[in-house]
Amino acid sequence: MKKLILSVDTGIDDALAIAYAAGQQEMELIGLTVSYGMSTVENTYRNTRKFAELIGLTVPVYMGSSKPMVRPGRDYRTTGSRIHGRDGMANMFGEHVPEDIEGAVPEEAIDYIIESVHRYGKDLVLVTTGPMTDLAKVIKKDPKVMEKIGAIYSMVGALAAPGNVNPYMEANAGMDPEAVKFVLESDPPLTVIGLDVTRKTLMSLEDLKRWQEIGTERSGFLSGCVEFYLDAYRVMHPYLKGCALHDPLAVGAALHPEWIHTVPMHLTCVTEGEADGRTCEDLSRCDDPVYHSAGALFVDSKAFEKHFFDTVERVLRG
Ligand code: CA
C-alpha cells in the first residue's frame, strides 16, 4: 500500500483534507507536516494537532517553516483572514498558548519528508495544501529526493483560470512565489491541482446541514468551521454555489488520479511585476521533450465529491 504524507497550513479546507485523508482506505497516511500559511506556524501546528486528536487520528505531526524563503512573512496580528479566521480555524481556537507547541522542533518537517522519501521511495506520495516553502527547502537540502519520490500533488496556482488573490495570483502560490518557482523549475513529478479544478468541486449549504445532523463533537466542530467558510464565500465568491474544496481535491487527485485530466507542462512561477505569483508554462524549457510535471485542467467533480462526502461523513460519525 502506498504511503501518504499530507503537508498542510491548517486552515479550514486543510482540516477538511485531513479528515478526508484520515478516512480514506486507498493509502496509508503516515504523517502530517505543517507550515505557516493560514495563520502563524504556531497556530497552524496547534490547529493540526488539535483537529487530528478530535477526529481520532494518531499519526505524527511535524512543524515546518515559519515564513517565506525570501519575502517578509505576513503580519498575522493585523491581517486576520476573512475566509479562515485569524487563527486559521474560524476563530474557534484563538491564539496558541505555549503548551500547544510543546515538543515541536522548528522545520523538523524538512528532514521528516527527506527521510520518508529515502525510506519509501516510489511508494511515497506527498500532498501539499499550503505554501511551497517546505518543499523548496526539501529539494535544496537533498535534490535527489525528487528522483526517488513516487508523486507529488499540490494545491497551488491557477493555470488557465484567474487567481483568487488577484487576477494572476492564487493564495498558496502568492504566499511564497520564490519557493513555487524553485520547486516547479526543479522538474519534480508534481501535478498542479490549481484553481482550474478546485473551484469546480464544492460544498453546499445542503452538504453542511447533513454534517450538522450527524450530532457528534467532531461533526459539530467541523460544521462550525465550514459555516464560517461558507459565509465568507457567499460574500467573496457569490458566483459559486458553495465553498471550494481546494485542499481536499489535492488528496482526492492523489488517491484517484483518474478523476483529473492533466496536461504535461514545464512549469514556473512569476516572481515580479504585475503577474507576480502567477503559475504558468516555462517557455525557456519548451524544447525539452521530457516532462515530469503536469497541470490538472479538468476534474470529474461528481466522482470526487461523492467519495469525499462519503469518507468524511464516516469520520465525523466516529
Ligand atoms: Ca491550505
* Model pLDDT for residues 138-190, shown as the tens digit of each residue: 999 999 999 999 999 999 999 999 999 999 999 999 999 999 999 999 999 99
Dihedral sign from CA coordinates of 171, 20, 53, 113: negative
Q: What is the pTM of this model?
A: 0.97
Cα(47) to ligand 1 centroid in Å equals 12
Instruction: Give the per-residue pLDDT at 161.
Output: 97
pLDDT tens-place string over residues 23-64: 999 999 999 999 999 999 999 999 999 999 999 999 999 999
Cα(216) to ligand 1 centroid in Å equals 25
Cα(300) to ligand 1 centroid in Å equals 21
Instruction: Give the per-residue pLDDT at 74.
Output: 87
Cα(11) to ligand 1 centroid in Å equals 5
Cα(129) to ligand 1 centroid in Å equals 4
Cα(10) to ligand 1 centroid in Å equals 6
Cα(273) to ligand 1 centroid in Å equals 25
Cα(16) to ligand 1 centroid in Å equals 10
Cα(13) to ligand 1 centroid in Å equals 6
Cα(68) to ligand 1 centroid in Å equals 15
Cα(284) to ligand 1 centroid in Å equals 30
Rounded distance, CA 33 to CA 104, Å?
Answer: 11
Cα(7) to ligand 1 centroid in Å equals 9
Cα(140) to ligand 1 centroid in Å equals 22
pLDDT exceeds 90 at position 243: yes
pLDDT exceeds 80 at position 80: no
pLDDT tens-place string over residues 271-295: 999 999 999 999 999 899 999 999 9
Cα(30) to ligand 1 centroid in Å equals 19
Rounded distance, CA 316 to CA 318, Å?
Answer: 5
Instruction: Write 286-291 long-range contacts (CB < 8 A, 24+).
Output: 291/264, 291/265, 291/266
Cα(74) to ligand 1 centroid in Å equals 15
Cα(8) to ligand 1 centroid in Å equals 6
pLDDT exceeds 90 at position 79: no
Instruction: Give the per-residue pLDDT at 238.
Output: 86
Cα(303) to ligand 1 centroid in Å equals 22
Instruction: Give the per-residue pLDDT at 116.
Output: 98
Cell 481536499 sits at which residue? 248
> Percent of the chain having pLDDT more than 90?
92
Are 124 and 98 spatial neighbours (Cβ–Cβ below 8 Å)?
A: no
Cα(214) to ligand 1 centroid in Å equals 25
Cα(9) to ligand 1 centroid in Å equals 5
C-alpha separations of 268 from 136, 195, 288 in Å: 13, 16, 14
Cα(289) to ligand 1 centroid in Å equals 32
Chain-centre distance for alpha carbon 293: 17
Instruction: Give the per-residue pLDDT at 27.
Output: 98
